């Protein structure tokens, strides 16, 4: 063996002595793969956290929808059945609805600021802010109906409430289907609700004419009929807000906007 080969062998032996202990502490998949695994775990954690936040947002909206459904049902029972307990329940639920609206708003701002959602997620998050605004207004209308139902003029009135009961049932049904469409993210059901607004408007117009006739026939009916007119208008507004919810749900699910001019009946759509 030449002196040059001997030098090379001694050099290789030194290298192995230095490197072998270090290699022994590195996993077989190497440090680069280790770093990649750590980044992958962090990414998976971020995705899970994002999905959890979206689910929490949906849960709060479903809870709020259930509250306004119950509030509306109790308000209608208060006026249709002259149920004072139902009026109290409808009024007591209003602060809970307001609190949930604020919680949803805070969650939406958090998701927009920290997660930067895109496409369908962005539509869902932004629509949540508008839908909860409509639900809060439904709660306000229901509370107003409940308060008016306790007025002495209505408690002693002999005016027929059959038209109001029919309108109340239709509005309740539209609201229930709008909330179901939101929970299920069902654009077909949302479109059905959107198309049903005409019937609510027509019932409101019929009630308006009926109550005005009562007032013209006997001035003593003016007090009770005035409260009933406000109640009927609040029911009509609940129907409008349910239709707004349906429009948002349809947009969230499809990315398409329903026609700007929605179906309406009679003169109630003028100026709205």
CATH number of the domain within which 236 lies: 1.20.58.220
Q: Which domain holds residue 116?
A: 47-254
Residue 269 covered by a domain: no
Q: Characterize 14-46 residue by residue with b for buried, 16 or more Cβ atoms within 10 angstroms of its Cβ, and e for exposed.
A: eeeeeeeeeeeeeeeeeeeeeeeeeeeeeeeee
For residue 190, give the nearest of 234, 134, 265 by alpha carbon.
134
Quick check: 191 and 250 in contact, CB under 8 A?
Answer: yes
For the segment 112-152, what is each residue's pLDDT rounded down to a tens digit? Answer: 998 888 888 899 999 999 999 999 999 999 999 999 988 87
Average pLDDT over residues 75-90: 92
Confidence band for 270, pLDDT divided at 50, 70 and 90: very low
What percentage of residues in the chain have a pLDDT greater than 90?
59
Q: In terms of pLDDT, which residue wins out, 64 or 157?
A: 64
- pLDDT, averaged across the chain: 82
Report the pLDDT value the prediction gives residue 46, as an integer from 0 to 100.
56
Residue 27 covered by a domain: no
Q: For residue 62, is pLDDT > 90?
A: yes
Residue 3 covered by a domain: no
Residue 5 covered by a domain: no
* Lowest mean pLDDT, pick from 13-27, 47-61, 85-99: 13-27
Q: For residue 272, is pLDDT > 90?
A: no
d(CA 3, CA 200) in angstroms, rounded, equals 105
Report the pLDDT value the prediction gives residue 4, as an integer from 0 to 100.
40
Report the pLDDT value the prediction gives residue 48, as an integer from 0 to 100.
72
Report the pLDDT value the prediction gives residue 263, as an integer from 0 to 100.
63
Report the pLDDT value the prediction gives residue 266, as an integer from 0 to 100.
57
Residue 127 covered by a domain: yes
d(CA 202, CA 264) in angstroms, rounded, equals 8
Average pLDDT over residues 214-221: 90
Residue 205 covered by a domain: yes
Q: For residue 39, is pLDDT > 70?
A: no
Residue 38 covered by a domain: no
For the segment 232-263, what is each residue's pLDDT rounded down to a tens digit? Answer: 999 999 999 999 999 999 999 999 888 876 66
Residue 1 covered by a domain: no
Q: What share of the chain is helix, strand, coil (3-state, %, to 5)?
A: 85, 0, 15
Q: How many domains does the chain have?
A: 1
d(CA 190, CA 200) in angstroms, rounded, equals 16
């Amino acid at each position: 063996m030449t002196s040059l080969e001997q030098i090379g062998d001694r050099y290789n032996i030194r290298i192995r002595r230095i490197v072998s202990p270090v290699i022994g502490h590195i996993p077989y998949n190497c440090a680069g793969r280790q770093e990649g695994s750590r980044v992958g775990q962090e990414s998976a954690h971020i995705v899970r956290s994002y999905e959890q936040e979206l689910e929490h947002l949906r849960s709060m909206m479903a809870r709020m929808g259930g509250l306004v459904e119950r509030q509306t049902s109790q308000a209608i029972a208060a006026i249709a059945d002259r149920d004072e307990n139902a009026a109290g329940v409808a009024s007591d639920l209003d602060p809970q609805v307001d609190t949930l609206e604020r919680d949803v708003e805070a969650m939406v701002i958090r998701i927009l600021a920290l997660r930067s959602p895109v496409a369908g997620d962005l539509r869902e998050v932004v629509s949540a802010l508008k839908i909860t605004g409509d639900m809060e207004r439904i709660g306000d209308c229901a509370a107003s109906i409940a308060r008016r139902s306790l007025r002495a003029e209505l408690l002693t009135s002999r005016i027929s409430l059959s038209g109001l009961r029919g309108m109340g049932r239709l509005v309740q049904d539209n609201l229930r289907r709008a909330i179901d469409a939101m929970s299920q993210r069902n654009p077909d059901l949302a479109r059905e609700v959107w198309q049903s607004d005409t019937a609510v408007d027509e019932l409101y117009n019929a009630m308006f004419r009926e109550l005005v006739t009562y007032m013209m026939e006997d001035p003593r009916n003016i007090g009770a009929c005035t409260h009933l007119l406000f109640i009927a208008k609040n029911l009509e507004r609940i129907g409008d807000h349910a239709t707004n919810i349906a429009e948002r749900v349809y947009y969230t699910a499809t990315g398409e906007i329903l026609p700007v001019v929605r179906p309406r009946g009679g003169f109630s759509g003028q100026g709205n």
